[in-house]
Amino acid sequence: MVSIVSVAKAAGVSNKTVSRVINGEPHVTEDTRERVEKAIRDLGYIPNMAARQIRSSRSNTFGIITDYVSTTPYSVDIVRGIQDWANRHGKSILMANTGGLPEREAEIWKMFQSHRIDGVLYVTMYHRVVDPEAGDVSIPTVMINCRPHTSELLPSIEPDDFQGARDLTRYLLERGHRRIGYIRLNPILLGAELRLDAFRRTVKEFGLAESDLSIRLGMEGPVGAEENYVFAAATEMLQQKDRPTAIMSGNDEMAIQIYIAALTSGLRIPQDVSIVGFDDFRTVSLALKPELTTAALPYYDLGFQGAEWLNSVISEEMVRASRRVISCKLVERASVCAL
Find, among 148, 200, 174, 196, the residue nearest to 322 by Cα.
148
pLDDT value, residue 269: 98
In this predicted structure, the answer to whether residue 136 has a pLDDT above a threshold of 90 is no
pLDDT value, residue 211: 85
- Please indicate, yes or no, if residue 128 is contained in any of the structural domains: yes
Rounded average pLDDT over 198-221: 94
In this predicted structure, the answer to whether residue 25 has a pLDDT above a threshold of 80 is no
Instruction: Write down the number of H helices and E strands in the chain.
Output: 12, 14
* Dist CA 317 CA 61 (whole Å): 16
- 143, 20: one domain: no
- 25, 94: one domain: no
* Dist CA 252 CA 250 (whole Å): 7
Stated as kind and residue range, the H or E segment containing 306 is helix 299-316
- Please indicate, yes or no, if residue 121 is contained in any of the structural domains: yes
**CATH, residue 261:** 3.40.50.2300
Q: Which amino acid is at 273?
A: V
pLDDT value, residue 325: 96
Please state, rounded to an integer, the average pLDDT across all residues of the chain.
90
- 170, 149: one domain: no
Rounded average pLDDT over 196-210: 95
Q: How many Cα atoms are found within 13 Å in the side-chain-facing hemisphere of 318?
A: 2
Rounded average pLDDT over 41-65: 71
Q: pLDDT tens, 61-96?
A: 999 999 876 556 678 899 999 999 999 998 999 999
**CATH, residue 14:** 1.10.260.40
- Please tell me whether residue 323 adopts helix, strand or coil conformation: strand
In this predicted structure, the answer to whether residue 129 has a pLDDT above a threshold of 60 is yes
Q: Which amino acid is at 199?
A: F
- Following CA atoms 13, 19, 20, 23 in sequence, which dihedral angle do they give, to the nearest 10 degrees? 150
- Please indicate, yes or no, if residue 194 is contained in any of the structural domains: yes
* Dist CA 180 CA 213 (whole Å): 5
Query: 60 with 90: CB under 8 angstroms?
Result: yes
Q: pLDDT tens, 88-121?
A: 998 999 999 998 899 999 999 999 988 889 999 9
Stated as kind and residue range, the H or E segment containing 294 is strand 294-296
Its pTM stands at: 0.81
Q: Which domain holds residue 22?
A: 4-55
- Please indicate, yes or no, if residue 213 is contained in any of the structural domains: yes
In this predicted structure, the answer to whether residue 53 has a pLDDT above a threshold of 60 is no
Rounded average pLDDT over 24-39: 86
Lowest mean per-residue pLDDT among 47-61, 68-82, 168-182, 202-216: 47-61
Neighbours of 304 (CB within 10 A): 22
- 33, 46: one domain: yes
- 187, 246: one domain: yes
* Dist CA 71 CA 95 (whole Å): 12
- 48, 69: one domain: no
pLDDT value, residue 114: 83
pLDDT value, residue 54: 43
- Please indicate, yes or no, if residue 263 is contained in any of the structural domains: yes
- Please indicate, yes or no, if residue 338 is contained in any of the structural domains: no
pLDDT value, residue 287: 97
pLDDT value, residue 163: 98
CA 74 to chain centre: 9
Rounded average pLDDT over 306-334: 87
- Please indicate, yes or no, if residue 335 is contained in any of the structural domains: no
User: What total of structural domains would you count in the chain?
Assistant: 3
- 224, 267: one domain: yes
- 90, 185: one domain: no
Query: 290 with 318: CB under 8 angstroms?
Result: no
- 166, 267: one domain: yes
329 bridge partner residues: 296
- Please tell me whether residue 259 adopts helix, strand or coil conformation: helix
- Please indicate, yes or no, if residue 334 is contained in any of the structural domains: no
Percent of the chain beyond pLDDT 70?
92
- 207, 317: one domain: no
- 262, 310: one domain: no
pLDDT value, residue 19: 84
- Please name the residues in contact with 163: beta carbons below 8 A apart, sequence gap of 6 or more: 198, 325, 327, 328
Q: How many Cα atoms are found within 13 Å in the side-chain-facing hemisphere of 212?
A: 16
pLDDT value, residue 315: 81
In this predicted structure, the answer to whether residue 151 has a pLDDT above a threshold of 70 is no
- 183, 204: one domain: yes
pLDDT value, residue 205: 96
In this predicted structure, the answer to whether residue 218 has a pLDDT above a threshold of 90 is yes
